[in-house]
Amino acid sequence: MRRILLESLLRRPVTDAAPKLDDAELAALAARIDVAARRRLGRSLAIREVDAGSCNGCELEINALQNAVYDLERFGLRFVASPRHADVLMVTGPVTKNMRIALERTYEATPAPKWVVAVGDCAVSGGLFAGSYACVGPASAVVPVSLAIPGCPPTPTAMLKGLLTLLRS
């Protein structure tokens, strides 16, 4: 333990620099960001992740946001265990019919002001699962979506850029 701690002290941090945000990219990502709500929430956001039927690829990359390389918390962004503590819902998956009610209830349980971020091609458009008897389709068919981050799955850097648009005043 001591050796690992000592090594960590002597080495340079593994954390990447913050991604550069480019305006055109941000404009494309943000479909509807409520500026007034952003002022009220300040520079810190609590995120609740809702898997609405993904293949778990998006979850792997969302989890990667919390590793030491991306270190999401340095931006004031953090994952919380309950929608009641959340400002943002990150929704993944093609919203299966079996998850529809759970997603609706999670949204209702989240206090306003709140935003929904659709993460990954499935949540953005239904992806490869569009048209299935078992899927509702994109997240926007069930809850209002403010930001769409496409990709299969989106890289952690792409997600980080998207989430930072929510904080940018």
Partner 1 sequence: MTPLAALIDTDRAADPESRWPRVMVDADTWLDIAAQLGAGGWTLVGLWADGQRVHMAVADDAPRPAVAVVSLDAEDGAYPSVGRYHPAAIRLERALRDLCGLRPEGMPDPRPWLDHGAWGVNAPLAGSRGEPAPSVPEGYTFLRVDGEDLHEIPVGPVHAGVIEPGHFRFTVDGETVVRLEQRLGYTHKGLESLLAGSTLDHAARLAGRASGDSTVAWALAFAHAAEAACGVAPPPRAVWLRALMAELERMANHFGDVGGVCNDASFGILNAHCGVLRERVLRAAASCFGHRLMMDRVVPGGVAVDLEDSGIITLRGLLKEIHRRLPQIAELYDQTTSLQDRTVSTGILRPALAQRFGAGGHVGRASGRDFDTRRDLPYPPYEQLRFTVPVQTEGDVNARVWVRIREIDQCVGMIEQMLALLPDSPIRVPVDAAAGALREGMAMVESFRGDVLVWLRLDASGTVARCHLRDPSWFQWPLLEAAIEGNIVADFPICNKSFNCSYSGHDL
Note whether 3 binds partner 1 by CB under 8 A.
yes
Binding residue for partner 1 (CB under 8 A) from 86, 153, 161, 163?
153
Alpha helices for 100-149 (secondary structure H): 100-109, 120-125
Residue 27 CB, shortest distance to partner 1, in Å, is: 26
Instruction: Tell me the residue type at 89.
Output: L
Alpha helices for 52-99 (secondary structure H): 57-64
Q: How many helices (H) and strands (E) does the chain have?
A: 7, 5
Q: Which is nearer to partner 1, 79 or 115 (CB)?
A: 79
Q: Which is nearer to partner 1, 24 or 81 (CB)?
A: 81
Give the per-residue contact string, 34-73, with partner 1 (x = CB under 8 A; - = no).
---------------xxxxxxxxxxxxxxxx-xxxx----
Question: In sequence order, what DSSP letters do the residues of 14-53 get, joined into one string?
Answer: -PPPPPPP-HHHHHHHBS---HHHHHHHTT-EEEEEEESS
Binding site for partner 1 (CB under 8 A): 1, 3-5, 14, 49-64, 66-69, 79, 81-83, 93-94, 96-100, 102, 106, 128-129, 131-135, 152-153, 155
